[in-house]
Structures are given as C-alpha cells and as structure tokens.
Structure 1
Amino acid sequence: MNRRTTALAAVAVLGATGLALAGCAQPNATPTNTKSEAAQLPLVGWTDVPASQLQQGGTLNLAVLSSGTDEGNWNISTTQGANVPVVNMQAPIMGTPYKATKDGGVEPDPNYATSIELTSKDPQTVDVKLNDKAVWEDGTPLTANDYKATFAALSGKNDKFNIASSAGFDQVSSFDVKSDYEFTFTFSSPYADWQALLTTPAVPKAIASDPDKWASFTTKPLPSSGPFVMSKIDNNAKVYTETPNPNWWGEKPKLDKITWTVIDQGSQAQAFSNNEINAVEVQDVDTYTAALKKSGAKALNSGGLTYSQITFNGLQAPLDDVNVRKAIAQAVDRELMAKTANEPLGVQATTMGDWLFMPGQKGYTDTMGEKLPYDLDAAKKSLETAGWTNADGKWTKDGKTLKLSVIIPQGTKSNELRAQQIQASLKKIDIDVTLDPVPSADYFTNIMAGKYEMATFGWQGTLFPISSSESLFYPEMKPGGDGQNFAFVTDEKLGDLWSQANSELDQSKRLKIAQQINEVIAGYMPMLPIYPYPNVTVVDKNLANYGPSTFMSVDWTKVGFTE
C-alpha cells in the first residue's frame, strides 16, 4: 500500500494484511514459540517493461477504501488527508524534488529539480534549483515562492494551519528565494533527515499562505503538479477520474485514463473478477484466493513499510492505567497473529518489536520482545498491580468489572479478524472484549475524536522512520485536535530524546538515541506493535509497471498495458 507517502508523517492504513479465516487458524489455537525469520521479499514487485513495448492508451481502473472527501480533506499534509488511500489516489497528480530509489535512498527527480545540494553543515544549508518547465495544471509556473509558502505552512508556527506533522519544517530558521527557480533553506540546528522536506509536495502559494484555503479541499484535490489531473469528481458515486495533464512537461503518459472507485475491502476481489478493476491490493486470504481465480491474474509481492498494531486510548478508563495497557500487551499472542496473517499468503511472518524501524532496517531491535514478551502470568500480575482482583473468572475493582472493546470498520475483514484474535487472547486472562463496528468512513473520525477504547489498524512508515514516527507518540494530543497521537498520552522524556535524534548527524549515535526512544515507549505502552506485513497485489497479466514496492514509487508515465 506504499505507492507514495508523505515524508514526515506516518500514514494511517485502514486495513492491514488480514488474519486468515478462523477455519484456517482458530483464535484459540495453541501459540507457537518458534520464531521465524521474515522471508526475503523483493524491493520491487513488478518487472520493468520499457515504455516502448507498451500500447498507447487504455484505462487503468483501481479501487481504494476511501477518498479524501470521505476522510475530510484531500490535502495530504493535513491530519485528515495523511491517509494511505488519499495519498495513493493523488500520486499520479503530485510530484516532489526528491524521489525514492529502489533501495530506499533518494535522488533528485529531474521533472522537478535539476540540482539539490547540502552546501553547508554549519549552519546546515540546502540549495535547490528547480526545473523551470514545471507548472501547475493551469500552466502557472511552479516556483520557489510556492515552496516557501508550503514550508511556512508546515512549520507549525501558525497554529491556524491544520497539519499532520511539522517535523523538520519547524527547524528551518530561514528560507531565501534566490530566483523564481532557486531557493535555499537553513536549519536552526542540525537536522539529520533534511532530505525528507523535499519529498513533500509543494502547494501553490495562494493556498499555502491562507489557512482557510489550506484546509478547504474537502471535496476535491489540490491543483495538479504531476503527469495526470483529476478531470472528473463524483463524490456521490465515489468514482474519481484522472486523465493526462495537458500542461505536463515530462514524458507523455501511456494511459488515457485512471479511475479510482471507493470499494470496501470485502468486495474488491469480486470487482477484480468482474473486470471492474485491474488490480487488487490483498488484505486477507479470502481476497488473495478469490482474486487468483480470475483468468490471467498474477500475484506480485514486495517487502513493506507497514505494520499492524493496537492503539490504546490512554484517556479512557481502564486504559488510562499503564499497568492495564502492559497487561494487554503481554497477553496478546502476537506471534500467532503474525503466522495466521501472512503464511496463507505464501510469506513467512515475524512479529514487530520496534516502534520506529521495520525488521531488516538498520537500527531495528526487538524491544517489545525483550521488555514485555508474551506471558500470561506476567499479564495477570500487571492487572493485580493496577488494583484489579480476579474472582470467579472476572477482574473487578471498586465494584466495576474489567471489560474492553475494539472499534472496527464495517466491511474491512482484516480489522475484524484481527480484533477477534485480540478478543480470544484476552479471554485467556478473563478479560471480555466486545467488537464495536462503525461505518468505515467514520472509523478514523471516531478514533481521532477519542470515541474508542482499543483500535487495530496499520501505520505505514516512510523513508525517514525516526523523524516521521515522532508525531505518533509526541506531543500529547487532545481528542479532536490536530496530530497523530491517537493514544492521547505521552512521556515528556520523548520530547528531548526526539530533539537529540533529529539533530544528530552521526548515524551510530543517532541509532542509540532511537533505542532509548523505544525503551521509553515500552515503558508507558501507548501502542502495541503486532507484525509487519508484505505488500501483495494481484493484477491482470497485461498490466505493466504497476504493483507493490518497498520504497520506490510508481512512475505513472510508464504504467500501461502490453496488449
């Protein structure tokens, strides 16, 4: 699901790769104690086909779980817009000075920047020369002043701007426009992930200078700066059509049209079989099996940056007690959940033990496994420490019985099945858990408003995991406020630690600070990581240059059909 992502804010994923159906792995199955290594998956799931070998024209039909209208904003730098489906839908109409490489590095995208240089380390200064052919969809030049206004909006200095994260931008002390197509920006203190700022799309100055306009894109996307434009919007039918940008200055796209239709997860395999869509991102074994029955279908997979987790509402009793949160963390059988989630898709699984890095990334440690391993007896002791007493198979305290709930989006099978295993795990220590289904369009709205106890969804990471993870844990967030800390609690030590990590240019020292951050998070347990999962997409066999990848974005000018 990581086609393209905001660089400085992790992105919420409605449905993570799903658990196998109960018939394949019963929720009360015996937990496995044998750890397995994650399979070595490719960084890019598709085989590159030269554009010259593709037909000119054709329509690519794709599905998403929600639109920017559903989520509340199409501006991906807002709290509501920083959502994977919203980002994915707009990938063909956006571009940035830096683009991701196959192995997770970055390089200038010549369509947007001809040169990017770190010209000084003290003070840390970056010089950017823009492509003078780049324009907005109406033909207006894309200039340094657009970037200046975007940087200012994302700095967090004006609290009237609704932003998902100010990380990095809040460290920019000066921004100098040298010409229409060249600018420099300087940091107040060293900022290790400086390249991340240039993987965030610019917004036109007229919009980025006005907080009301910035937040006003509730029913349509911002102006295009990519090879496609959003040419038709049907918010009632939830069908969105993109066609080639007549003012695009780069390579001509092969496709005539891209359509995005909002289809719930449980219906996407059928839509694929009916030729309503050309690809389906697999979130559960039912979808995987059904989609592969289509004639000519093929499965593509790659490593991923997304992990499933359980977020606890730290303001909601009894989860406002850290010992209750720790008890749940030690009672949830994460290893069984990992196995039943990924093995039916042909991929070995591993649990997720780090809150910043993915398994395989430099810096990853199994902090969760070391600090709070699966241990039902320890979980019960944590509840006793919190003042709960177990009698007759029930935990009580001050006349109240310990009960919990998990909010789930209707029609998203992976969330429901994962919630069922959480329910089965906690039943083993006498905690009753009910499932609280809500319309999928209301799911994140309720979470952000604090109208939930536990929630299990995915977080999609970025190329810059240390800085992009900060907003999930720090600062403390109020329900209904701006930000991504949906647990609504924090540990104040994190503020100083993240400041150190974001300014440390020595990578080995930086990783040591990251480990301290992990240990602090384990200490107050706002979120329980469960397992990372691969990207799996089933596509029509004649679709080329589209599919899953770990880091690299799809080149939308090269997506097309071989016949």
Structure 2
Amino acid sequence: MIRKSTALAGIAVFGVGVALLAGCSTPTPSKSSAPAAELPLVGYKDVAYDDVTQGGTLNIAAAYGPNDVGNWNTAQANTADVVVLDFLAPTLGSPAIADAKGNWKPDPNFATSIELTSEDPQVVNVKLNPDAKFEGGQPITAADYQALFAAFSGKDEAYEIASSAGYDDVASFDVVSDTEFNVTFDTPYADWPNLFLANPIPASIASDPTVFNTGYVDKPVPSIGPYKFDTLDADAGVYTFVPNPDWWGPKPKLDKITMTVIEDQTAQANAFADDTLDAVEIVTPDQLSIASAKKGATIQTSGGLTYAQVTLNATAEPLDDLDVRKAVAKSIDREAIAAVMYAGMDAEPTTDGNYIFMPGQTGYEDVVGKDLAYDLKGAAQLLEKAGWKHDESAKKWTKDGKDLTLSVTVPDGTPSNSARAEQVQSSLAKNDIKVTIDTVPSGDYFTDISSGKFQMVSFGWQGTLFPISTAESLFYPAGDPAKPDEGQNYSFTTDESLGDLWDKANSELDPDKRLEIAKKINHVIAGFVPMVPIAPYVEKYATDGDLANFGTATFQSSDWTKVGFTK
C-alpha cells in the first residue's frame, strides 16, 4: 500500500509503491543510467476525446478511502495522502497541471494564465476562468484562493495542514477582481508554480479552521471536477461518482465511476481477473501474474516518483541513539531489498540513495551510498561506540542487561510491505540485530506512525516535480508524536541547521546554486538518519484493453473528461 501526500508536501504511500510542476528555475530532468529513468513517462495510450465512447461505468478499487483517513477536505492534513487523492481525483482540479515530460502549464478549465510578472519583488499574476464553479453553482473566485492561501500560510496554528512550504513566504495576496489576483512573496520562492497545484475549496470552508478541520470528516466538499460523489454503500465499501452537472468543461465520457475499498492487494488483482474491476494497480509479482492472465488485459509500465524507505523513530529506544540509527542504516542491504522489490516485476532493480531527488532527476546522487554505505563491520563498531556488547556465541548485542531488539510495523494485507520488512529483518540479522515484524490493521497503520507507536516502518514517499521545497516537511521541523496531525516528519528528529539551508534553497532562483544547497541538505539529513531510502517503485497498471486514457504516468496529470472506453 502507498500513502501519498499532496503537492504541498510529500505523499506517503504504503503498499507498492513531493514535484509539482517544473517552473522556470526548476532544473529539467537529465538522462540517467538508472533503470527507472529509462522507463516510459506514460504507460497508457493517449486516445483522442472524440474517439472515446460516451457512456459506461468504470469500476476501480483503492486500499482505503476518505472516510478511513477521517477527512474529505483535500487541504486538511489527513487527506494529504496519495491513495485518497487518487480516490477523489475525478472530483478535483487545480490552476496548474503537468504534461508528460513534467513541464507545468495552466489548466484552462481553472486558469487562463499564471505568470511571473516581477522578480524583485517576486509577483505572480493569476487570471481565473470565469466559468469555473463549485458543485452547486457557486463561482470559484479569487476570494476562495485568498482564503486557502491564508489557511496554508501556517500563521494560524488552528489549521491542520500538511505543510506551509511556499505559502509561508507569501507577503501579500491582492484580489484584483473575482477572476484575478496577485501573489507577492517576501523573498524569492523558486518553486512558486507548486502553490497552484492545490485544489481550491470554498472560502466558507478555508476561512474557518473548525470547518476546515472537522466539517468534512464524513462528507465531500463541493466537487470542482467533471464528476461528483453520489452514494456510498458502507457495507460493501463502494463509493459511486457520477457526472457533475455544474462542470463547465468538456462533457465527461463515463456515466458512472465506482470505487471499491479493497484492502488486500491480491484481492484487488483477483477482482480485476474476474471482471469485477476494469483496472488495477500492480505492486507485487503475484498481482502481475493474476492480472496478466485475464483475457484482453493490457499491462502498462512507466517510471514513477514513489520510493520505498525505512523510517526510524528517533523517540523510541534504542533508536533515540544516533549511533544506533547509523548502525541500522549501515546494516540495511539496499541492493538486496531492491532486487526483491523488483523480482517478478519485469524491470531491472535500482536503488535510491537521495533524500530529495529521484533517480533520473537533475541533482540526484547516491548520498546514502556515500555517507551510510552498507558496512556490517562499520555498523558493529558504531554499536560498540553506543555501549552495546556483542555476544558472538549467543549471536546478540546486549547493554545494561538488555538485548538489542527492534521491530518493523507493517499493515495487514500488504504483501509488499511485509516482504520489505522481512528483507530488513534479514539484513540486520547478518549483524546479529534481532528484528520482529508487528502487523497492525491497515486502517491503524498511519495513525500509529503519526503517533510514534513504532520503531521502524517501511512505506513509500511520492516525490514531486518540485522536490527541494516539497521534501522539507519530511525532515524539518522535527515533528511531535503528541501532535499527530502536524507535519510529516515521522522520525521525530531533525538538525536545526536545515531551517536556514531550506530557506536559502527555496529562495535561490539560480538552478546551479540551488542544487549545491540541496546537496548540503542531503548530507545533513544523512548525518542524523531519520530514514533510509531504499529503491524507487516501478509503476504498473493492468487495464481492460478497451479502457482509454487511464493508468500510470510519471508526471502527466489525468484528464478525467477523456477517461472511458473505446468499444
């Protein structure tokens, strides 16, 4: 399973597996020898709107839905989750969208233009589509964005947001008219296009923290997409979406979309095989085998922005000792784990060793391979430095009468997480570090993580088109398990120098200088070991052969008006 976060920060993903759109100062991806960078950018075939049949029902599934995370408001922290955002995608939209190569542009359905009109001070002018409206007919205006920017600014701590990155650099938001506004920044903000990937919500929601946080825990906010939520069969876990009568863009092709909550990944593949589902995300070899056997199935493959990692809880003994965390990191065989992740997935394994960039992105280098290289002898020396003594005959480490034992928490029904946890267990066993695997209900998994009820976990983070600014909330500030709704730093530790470094990186408009700062940030993070990046996920989808414009893509935004069938 994968927990994914919004473009505002990182997106957590558990199972498989943060750049908005590349702005003028964002480096474009370079060619890389990493296999993930050589995969197609889009897995599905683009079919022209007029060649897609009008009508039909699309049946798809997800591991959980908005009711399970406790919110439908995509601006609230709990919903900063890739699974839920994908779940609600037919009802969403934003002023900016990404193309196949990761370049950003205005979505004409929401904005006729988004322009940087001044660099000193930095000013961005936005002109909205006057036809844009919320479900129910209320126009989407500059006042709605003004309220959203204020909520995201972080100035009012009552708002439960995933990240204020970029929004906290806004000096003023000036409404020119209902359909035009200017955003002025205190200091230059390099990833400014990232701010316009947020989904607008009515000002009546964004201007009231109570309504913002809890007003939509079990009901949807008004749709701004081509579809709207219709019904929920709670017993069957089936959510139904139908065309939004207030949608102003091209008429959506489908009559209905059903989204069924199926926690178990293999069960999803079986539902696809027996024709209950029309498409399924493939995250395990078993799923691939099951889905491939379906007559007429198409298997899509593309590169992805999601990477697997192991998060270490620095508030939980013995991982509260930096030397122990370093020893654990040096005992994890990333290449072996990557090989297991890719086995049976018809792709060459590759590792990920960077805290900001994905393999294939400009700026990527294997920092983990340099600073925390796999080194069992070095790891043992670190444990000795931390006061642990090795009992070779008993194959264990002890200190003050206690054995060194660790645990990895995994969500129930998620084979990929369990397999990765077993590989971590196997890696650490080579250094006589005992690791148990604790399974919890998938619905409790991220609640336990955000509350610090774990020692180690391994899930996926989704990278972004703007990885420097969007990665910040994963590592700075430290986070607090007593405040589980605040931030995304689940290691609950940091290095205070990161605050200044990220301020410099986020205000540096020179791409080369910015990459140098990002390099420093990477090495600082490796120095306190909040997590160990492992490997990028290969993105795969199985779809019925007649399903068009739906599936996997590295960067490209989905156009839900074009999703449909060709027969």
Q: Which bracket does the TM-score occupy, shorter chain normalised?
A: over 0.9
Match of 1:371 in 2: 371
Matches within 5 A, 1:141-220: 141-216=139-214, 217-220=216-219
Q: How far is the alpha carbon of 1:402 from its aligned partner?
A: 0.3
Q: How does 1:246-265 map to 2 (within 5 A)?
A: 246-264=245-263, 265=265
1:353-432 alignment runs, 5 A limit: 353-391=353-391, 392-432=394-434
Equivalent residue for 1:325? 325
**Counterpart contact for 2:188–2:507, Cα < 8 Å:** yes
Give deviations 1:469-521, integer Å, cap 9, x for gaps. Answer: 00000001110421100001111011100000000000000000000000000
Residue in 2 aligned with 1:134? 132
**Which residue number corresponds to residue 95 of structure 2?**
97
Distance (Å, rounded) in 2 between the aligned partners of 1:485 and 1:195: 24
> Which structure 1 segments of 5+ residues have no match?
18-34
Alignment pair present for 1:501 and 2:505 = yes
The change in CA–CA distance for 1:248 and 1:508 in structure 2 (over 3 A counts) is same
Matches for 1:45-84 after TM superposition, within 5 Å: 45-84=43-82
- Aligned residue pairs total 546
Structure 1: distance between partners of 2:524 and 2:184? 31
User: Do residues 294 (structure 1) and 291 (structure 2) align?
Assistant: no
CA 1:413–1:347 in structure 2 vs 1: closer, same or farther (change >3 Å)? same
Within 1, Cα distance between the matches of 2:206 and 2:492? 28
CA distance in structure 2 between the partners assigned to 1:80 and 1:135 by the alignment: 25
Distance 1:403 1:117 in 2: 55
The alpha carbon displacement at 1:193 in A equals 0.4
User: Could you list the per-position Cα deviations for residues 224-258 of structure 1 after superposition, in whole angstroms to 9, with x for gaps in the alignment?
Assistant: 11111111133443211111111111100111111
Q: TM-score, normalised by structure 2?
A: 0.94
How do residues 306-321 of structure 1 correspond to structure 2 at under 5 angstroms?
A: 306-321=306-321
- State the partner residue of 1:490: 494
* Separation of aligned partners in 2, 1:559 and 1:466: 32
Which residue pairs with 2:20 in the alignment? none
Aligned to 1:523: 527
Q: In 2, Cα distance between the equivalents of 1:234 and 1:143?
A: 34
- Residue 273 of structure 1 is matched in structure 2 by 273
1:36: Cα distance to partner?
7.0
Do 1:254 and 1:558's aligned partners in 2 also have CA atoms closer than 8 Å?
yes
Matching residue of 1:22 = none
Q: Could you report, residue by residue, the CA deviation over 1:251-304 in whole angstroms, capped at 9, with x for unpaired residues?
A: 001111111111022311111112111111011111111111111111101110
Q: Are 1:242 and 2:207 matched, yes or no?
A: no
SS at 2:344 equivalent: helix
Match of 1:27 in 2: none
**1:290 counterpart letter in structure 2:** I
1:545 aligns with 2:543: no
Q: Is the 8 Å Cα contact of residues 37 and 359 (structure 2) preserved in structure 1? A: no
Instruction: Give the deviation of 1:213 after TM superposition.
Output: 0.7
Alpha-carbon distance between aligned partners in 2 of 1:447 and 1:145, rounded to the nearest angstrom? 36
Q: State the alpha-carbon separation in 1 of the partners of residues 443 and 67 from structure 2.
A: 10
Mark the runs of 5 or more structure 2 residues left unpaired by the alignment. 18-32
Q: Distance in 1 between matches of 2:123 and 2:420?
A: 46
The 8 Å contact of residues 2 and 550 in structure 1, kept in 2 or not, is answered as: no
Q: Check whether the contact 1:77–1:165 (CA below 8 A) recurs between aligned residues.
A: no
Alignment of 1:465-484 (within 5 A): 465-481=467-483, 482-484=486-488
Corresponding residue of 1:451 = 453
| 1:310-359 Cα shifts (integer Å, max 9, x gaps) | 00110000000111111111111110111221142111121111000000
Paired amino acid for 1:469: A
Residue in 1 that maps onto 2:564: 560
Amino acid at match of 2:96: Y
* CA–CA separation in structure 2 for the residues paired with 1:494 and 1:528: 18
Secondary structure of the equivalent of 1:484?
coil
Letter of the aligned partner of 1:109 in structure 2?
A: D
**Secondary structure at 2:78's aligned position in 1?**
coil
Matches of 1:497 and 1:479, distance apart in 2: 25
The AA in structure 2 aligned to 1:335 is E
Distance in 2 of aligned mates of 1:437 and 1:450? 15
Structure 1 contact 3–554 (Cα < 8 Å) conserved: no
1:298 alignment partner AA:
T
Q: Tell me, in whole angstroms, the C-alpha distance in 2 between the residues paired with 1:5 and 1:376.
A: 34
Counterpart residue identity of residue 288, structure 1? L
CA distance in 1, matches of 2:353, 2:209: 39
Contact kept, 8 Å, 2:337 with 2:420, in 1: the verdict is yes
For residues 492 and 464 of structure 2, what CA distance do their matches in structure 1 show?
22
Report % sequence identity. 54
Counterpart CA distance in 1 for 2:388 and 2:233 is: 53
SS in 1 for 2:521: helix
Deviations 1:190-226 (A, max 9, x none): 0000011111111100000011111122112221111
Q: Distance in 1 between matches of 2:370 and 2:75?
A: 35
User: What amino acid is aligned across from residue 50 of structure 2 in structure 1?
Assistant: S
2:16 paired residue number: 16
Shift of 1:77: 2.5
Structure 1 residue 3, shift from structure 2 partner: 13
Structure-2 change in CA distance of 1:281 and 1:436 (3 Å): same
Deviations 1:166-197 (CA, angstroms, capped at 9, x unpaired): 00000001001110100001001100000111
Distance 1:436 1:196 in 2: 37
| Cα distance in 1, alignment partners of residues 513 and 291 from structure 2 | 47
Q: Which amino acid aligns with 1:510?
A: R
Match of 1:29 in 2: none
Rounded Cα–Cα distance in structure 2 between residues aligned with 1:7 and 1:36: 25
Is 1:108 aligned to 2:106, yes or no? Answer: yes
1:499 partner amino acid = D
SS of structure 2 residue aligned to 1:345: coil
Where 1:80 maps in the other structure, the secondary structure is helix
Take 1:168 and 1:220, find their aligned partners in 2: how far apart are those partners? 29
- Whether the 8 Å contact between 1:6 and 1:462 is mirrored in structure 2 is no
> The residue matched to 1:215 in structure 2 has which SS?
helix
Mapped to 2, the partners of 1:395 and 1:2 lie a distance apart of 34
Deviation at 1:126, TM superposition (A): 0.6
Give distance in 2, aligned partners of 1:244 and 1:62: 16
Give yes or no for contact 1:411–1:440 (8 Å, CA) kept in 2. Answer: yes
The alpha carbon displacement at 1:72 in A equals 1.7
